Amino acid sequence: MHYRELSVPGAWEITPLQHGDPRGVFLECFKSGPFVEAVGHPFDLQQANCSVSAAGVLRGLHFADVPPGQAKYVTCTKGAVLDVVVDIRVGSPTFGQWDSVLLDDTDRRAIYLGEGLGHAFMSLEDDSTVLYLCSRGYAPGREHGIHPLDPEIGIAWPTTARDGTPLTPQLSEKDAAAPSLAEAQAAGLLPDVESVDAYLRSLRA
């Protein structure tokens, strides 16, 4: 299992070692030891979610108040998605920057997004199935969104599906009505880097 920190600090791409034979494939999709070695603290699993999305479905950008935030360990068990992390921590040197990982049923990579980061993905194939391991349970009052097509962030979302057909982004009503990054910052919705760093230090204590 190989961890690679992304250009947004606090997010990692995880590539598993796959063992194949005529029966199929086996892999470890999560292992506590390598996780702690890479990230610096344990992953406290509190909730597991699953979503199934048609090609073009765009979910996000979502984030939670810090503390305690909500870290996510995300994999795609069927199909393919482009998974995106955005630095929304006010005061961070990489504020507003994004990075991405292709999650699919071929390489079977995962992405870990620490507390205080924005998360979104676009499905590249019908019935793409995504599993999220979450460090905190869903709490509507402290969860927020940013419009995933905000030009200020400028995410380069795919325009073609896995089979080469054109993609049209499909957003939920809630995500389509979400504020821009600048509007979310002006409204005081975004976490600040000092609070996030303090919370992460408490996890390592």
User: Could you list the active site residues?
Assistant: 62, 132
Q: Going by C-beta distance under 8 Å and a sequence separation of 6 or more, which residues neighbour residue 30?
A: 43, 73, 110, 133
Q: How much is the CA Rg of the chain, to the nearest whole Å?
A: 17
In 37-94, DSSP assigns E strands to 47-53, 58-64, 72-78, 80-87
Residue whose C-alpha is closest to residue 4's, from 42, 38, 40: 38
Which amino acid appears at position 63 of this protein? Answer: F
CA–CA separation, 89 and 103 (whole Å): 24
Burial class (CB in 10 A: 0-12, 13-18, 19+), 163: exposed
H helix count then E strand count, the chain: 4, 13
- Phi, psi for residue 130 in degrees, rounded to 5: -115, 130
